[in-house]
Structure 1
């Protein structure tokens, strides 16, 4: 006798095949290279404040040794949602660092997306991001991740756009806390309209950890010019990784889907950053 399949049964069968074929991995549209395991990490701060982050590891990694601390750009408020081991939503899903994390995480490298402290409102202010309080709040989150994963021996800061305020100031407040800092699409014009004065006259020599700049040669944002990045890196003898090309650019010049957010070059940029984190060297200074 031929078995009769109801429409509901057929739907469940199709769903099971899809889930078996495509394991859980990060969202946001880019082609996946690894399956990710993600969880919310939260620590209590003073008063009723909390510091939250999303800790991401490769499903094949049991003992990552490097932690990439991701400090996203404007407004630097993430408010993530994690369901079934995957971050499914946030206020900054399109941000370069967040949408590209799957190209960085592997057996050696885990990542930690950093939210702003819980009572920040809709903006993680530049004043706070430059403060020692910001460094202390984030370091409490890092300490919790290291407690959970004792194999982590190095912590790298990676900021993008407004988040480079944090990646610039945190090593000054805690010189021994990090193995290095990588500034992507960095704020280079602190005195421009609506820019961030905290980086005005910033002395990168005060940062004792290794630093790297990653910048698109055609970055259209008036706050993050390539000429400004070249001037800073030449002055302070900091390696500059220059990115060219990309595709499917759209939106405001300072938003995440133009050259400012390395649109179409996410995989190449993140893999280059991964090499820096693993080796402590920038072997490739041009990404075409």
Structure 2
């Protein structure tokens, strides 16, 4: 190689190196994105019943979160992964934040025998709801071999707490229930029948429990002042934490998705806090 050619090669080397690095990073990003392609899954749960959920997993998941929306919970998820209802729900709209933090998600719809009003209303406390969750937990453990968490928001917290309590009671082998639960914007009072989360047998929970609440939540069934009562009832949980957040914006129904109740404007901070606590050693 002549001196002039060598000089040109040396001058170009940093550019070649930079281009190579950019290519590698782009390829890695593309691979991660491909691994996170949403997939609609239907699994059998009870006789003649299937449970549908939207499944998204990063390339190397560290845990998986089963997400329970609030309201009536009937997401009307179609085979292509579109939501007929609930797309704006805090957990539903924030699902990719979990994935980006290394946590796979299963966004739960109502089961096949509850695909019409009232959907999950009046069903969240039933043995059938717990049986559906048991099947989803088993499927996810078989697929990913990582810890499985239940995460609920608003009326989804009633599902999460009721399921965890039911599976703890029935779980002699300690592998049917979740490894931990997260309650966000917890139902602390009830005006539709059934129990608020504070009315359940929370002492039966022997798994980690994280509670996240907005200090400014104005939803009448989620008064922040009663979160202390909730924490005091978690007497057997090996690890608990109450996280009170603030900020964001509020519009519309104070119990709605874009109120403080739905962590509007602070979704990223809230989810990062949840995943950091879930994945802590």
TM-score, length-scaled by structure 2: 0.77
C-alpha distance after superposition, 1:57-107 (max 9, x if no partner): 23xx1x323110101101111121354xxx343311000000011111136
Q: Indicate conservation of the 8 Å contact 1:161/1:184, yes or no.
A: yes
SS in 2 for 1:251: coil
TM-score, length-scaled by structure 1: 0.76
Alpha-carbon separation, structure 2, partners of 1:222 and 1:229: 13
- State the Cα distance separating 1:181 from its structure 2 match: 0.6
- Pick the structure with greater CA Rg: 2
Alignment of 1:227-246 (within 5 A): 227-236=225-234, 238-246=240-248
Alpha-carbon RMSD across the aligned residues, in angstroms, is 2.5
Alignment of 1:1-288 (within 5 A): 36-58=36-58, 61=59, 63-81=60-78, 83=80, 87-106=81-100, 108-120=102-114, 121-147=116-142, 149=143, 151-175=144-168, 176=174, 177-190=177-190, 193-194=191-192, 196-197=194-195, 199=197, 201-236=199-234, 238-247=240-249, 249-279=250-280
- State the Cα distance separating 1:230 from its structure 2 match: 2.7
* Unpaired segments ≥5 residues, structure 2: 1-25, 169-173
Check 1:102–1:125 CA distance in 2 against 1; reply closer, same or farther (3 A cut): closer
Q: Indicate conservation of the 8 Å contact 2:165/2:201, yes or no.
A: no
Alpha-carbon separation, structure 1, partners of 2:123 and 2:185: 20
Q: Which residue of 2 aligns with 1:17?
A: none
Alpha-carbon separation, structure 2, partners of 1:180 and 1:111: 14
Alpha-carbon separation, structure 2, partners of 1:236 and 1:124: 29
Q: Which residue of 2 aligns with 1:28?
A: none
Alpha-carbon separation, structure 1, partners of 2:198 and 2:39: 36
- State the Cα distance separating 1:199 from its structure 2 match: 4.0
Q: Indicate conservation of the 8 Å contact 1:72/1:162, yes or no.
A: yes
Alpha-carbon separation, structure 1, partners of 2:232 and 2:33: 36
* Unpaired segments ≥5 residues, structure 1: 1-19, 25-32, 281-288
Alpha-carbon separation, structure 2, partners of 1:205 and 1:180: 14
Alpha-carbon separation, structure 1, partners of 2:193 and 2:33: 37
- State the Cα distance separating 1:48 from its structure 2 match: 3.3
C-alpha distance after superposition, 1:170-195 (max 9, x if no partner): 122222321111000000013xx335
Alpha-carbon separation, structure 1, partners of 2:129 and 2:90: 21
Alpha-carbon separation, structure 2, partners of 1:90 and 1:65: 30
Check 1:89–1:128 CA distance in 2 against 1; reply closer, same or farther (3 A cut): closer
